[in-house]
Chains A and B, each alone.
Chain A
């Protein structure tokens, strides 16, 4: 039984190391792999919206920081292309 757990732990360790190496190659470096796991993956979601779903509304702040508007205010007359992103 002791031998079984030894092998299991060993295999899990090898898999973890392999996964981290693979992630490092994909992300560019071990530091980037850490960054991806620590900061990116928790915030990335596929979401539940599908083509045909009702478009959700949300209140948006204008660049002046004072005015507010809603996404759905802009969806009545023409298609609305939404571009989400940040600076960095």
Chain B
């Protein structure tokens, strides 16, 4: 989330909720149990069930990033090979500018920060916590086999662009 705070004036962010990674009826992790993080959900079978979990997540963590939910066809997940977690940057021309590795082992928000920093300048923090970076759930930053970020020159001045609207909500 720290990356979002640091670069939201320059780039848009969108979190997309995809199928659960460790639901109670599949491969549940001990760290998700009720006496720990209390994240105990079965794999959603309907969009309504996904909505309940996504809303619990955003409310529980006061998650500030724009948020959307992959529908039950898993179209976004399939198109981006996103499960269980993954990061991408799409540039203004609609092309993939950065493709992160497959999570959790190659999920590396630091590479996103590096890409943004190369374009818009680094934002320094006295004590930047790694876990504070953009992560939708329990994610691990690890050594990455992902492609190194290769930012290109912006085609539009960042200062001239307007922020994108949040996902519509009522």
Contact = CB atoms under 8 A, between A and B. Distances in A.
Given A50-B147, A78-B163, 5 more contacts: A32-B29, A82-B89, A83-B65, A84-B136, A86-B19
Given A36-B27, A53-B95, A67-B169, A61 B77 contact: no
Interface of B: 3-4, 7, 10-23, 26-29, 32, 39, 41, 47-48, 50-51, 53-58, 65, 67-71, 75-77, 79-92, 94-99, 102-103, 112, 116, 119, 134-139, 147, 150, 154, 156, 158, 161-164, 167-170
B26 to A, nearest CB: 4
The 10 closest A-B pairs by CB, nearest first: A47-B81, A85-B136, A35-B27, A84-B82, A60-B68, A56-B79, A58-B76, A67-B168, A85-B85, A62-B167
Contact of B70 (A51, A60, A74, A87): A60
19 contacts: A43-B84, A48-B81, A49-B81, A51-B96, A57-B79, A58-B80, A60-B68, A60-B71, A63-B67, A63-B68, A71-B76, A75-B90, A75-B92, A80-B11, A82-B87, A85-B139, A86-B20, A87-B56, A88-B20
A47 B79 CA distance: 8
A2 interface: no
A67 B3 CA distance: 27
A40 interface: yes
A55 to B, nearest CB: 4
A38 B27 CA distance: 8
A67 to B, nearest CB: 4
A59 B73 CA distance: 10
A30 to B, nearest CB: 13
A75 B11 CA distance: 10
A76 interface: yes
A62 B41 contact: no
